[in-house]
Amino acid sequence: MKTVSPRRRLLRLALKTSAAIVAVAALGGVPAHAQQKEIRIGWQKGSTLSIVKARGNLDERLKAEGVKVSWTEFPAGPQMLEGLNVGSIDIGVVGETPPVFAQAAGADLVYVGNEPPAPRAEKILVPKDSAIKSLAELKGRKVALNKGSNVHYLLVKALESGGLKYSDVEVAFLTPADARAAFEKGAVDAWAIWDPFGAAAEAQIGARILADGNGIVNNYNFYIAARSFVNKHPEVLASALVAINETGTWVGKNQRDAAAIVAPQIGLPVEVAAVSVSRYGYGVKPLSDDVVKHQQQMADTLFELKLIPKKLDVASAVWRPAP
């Protein structure tokens, strides 16, 4: 029996939807109920979805299928998944840690795809003139991070690699903008952050990378959707993921052009934006068993540290589209 790859199943589902829309249109147009379909997308500046939004290929594709597309900006992944949990959006892309915190908080979410690992896109920064030269020297220091974000897990694992425990540092939970201000004022000793914010701090204030995710974490980006939306509109989801993947492929081949899109979003020169773009992986695909295992290990670690209130079954929140 021939095995069909998960990515091909997504494409088949999307193509079936497009064919159905064309057939209905040939009989007199898209029915009113089809026109009422909508997908509400959460995005962050500098992310793949910010490029998808700017290029317009997803809007164009779904409009042709009778689907309305709306976009809502969020400052970080945890806030985005809060929006998803209260019904403000249907899908978004976040780092590897926010879905674990959100699932533990009771959010009825589903992992619908991931991008390749991007360990260089997150890091722990110290001021350029800091005396801190190693992870072990963070003991007793104050580290800023966005609670529940990808860098929350980075800090846990980085400290472990430096022979420290999470409890050995003082953690200040701050949004990227507030953390940057605290970092510049010297109110914190280090800052765990992702790109493009990290790349901006490196370029603008000479922040020094104490450690990035290389050899410590994978730093996947995950596409997360509300389970209710996945169950109700799997064909819309599949079509959206095809469009997202098209842009991911384009970014991989046109990183300078992608940087020109991202630069004005984050108020940086194209050269700095290009550094951020180069540190990420592109192209969305369904979660493999290895990726699910990685997320489960992370969830187990965060539970053991009492950073989440209960044990999780990550596999129960993974979308498996039908053949």
CATH (domain of 231): 3.40.190.10
107-143: per-residue pLDDT in tens?
A: 999 999 999 999 999 999 999 999 999 999 999 999 9
Helix H or strand E segment including 266: helix 255-266
114 & 11 share domain: yes
* pLDDT of 322: 72
Q: Is residue 323 part of a domain?
A: no
126 & 185 share domain: yes
**Domains in the chain, number:** 2
Contact assessment for residue 101 and residue 224, using Cβ atoms and an 8 Å cutoff: no
Binning pLDDT at 50, 70 and 90, where does residue 173 land? very high
Q: What order do you get walking across the sheet with 109-114 strand by strand?
A: 67-73, 37-43, 91-94, 222-226, 109-114
> What is the radius of gyration, based on Cα positions, of the chain?
20
95 & 229 share domain: yes
Helix H or strand E segment including 22: helix 6-26
Q: Is residue 299 part of a domain?
A: yes
Binning pLDDT at 50, 70 and 90, where does residue 9 land? low
150 & 172 share domain: yes
Q: Is residue 176 part of a domain?
A: yes
The neighbour count for residue 23, using CB atoms within 10 Å, is 9
CA distances from 226 to 63, 140, 221, 233 (A): 21, 40, 16, 11
Q: Is residue 163 part of a domain?
A: yes
128 & 45 share domain: no
Q: Is residue 302 part of a domain?
A: yes
Residue percentage of the chain with pLDDT more than 90: 84
147 & 293 share domain: no
190 & 251 share domain: no
62 & 187 share domain: no
Q: Is residue 322 part of a domain?
A: no
Contact assessment for residue 248 and residue 48, using Cβ atoms and an 8 Å cutoff: yes
pLDDT greater than 90 at residue 35: no
* pLDDT of 21: 40
257 & 196 share domain: no
204 & 242 share domain: no
Query: For strand 190-194 and strand 142-145, is the pairing parallel, antiparallel, or unpaired?
Result: parallel
Domain end point (choices 212, 241, 267) = 212
What is the residue range of 250's domain? 6-118+220-317
Among residues 133, 121, 139, the alpha carbon closest in space to that of 212 is found at 121
DSSP category for residue 27 = T
Contact assessment for residue 238 and residue 10, using Cβ atoms and an 8 Å cutoff: yes
240 & 97 share domain: yes
Q: Is residue 96 part of a domain?
A: yes
* pLDDT of 291: 97
* pLDDT of 266: 83
Global pTM value: 0.84
Domain end point (choices 169, 187, 212) = 212
107 & 241 share domain: yes
Give the CB-side neighbour count of residue 237, counting CA atoms within 13 A: 29
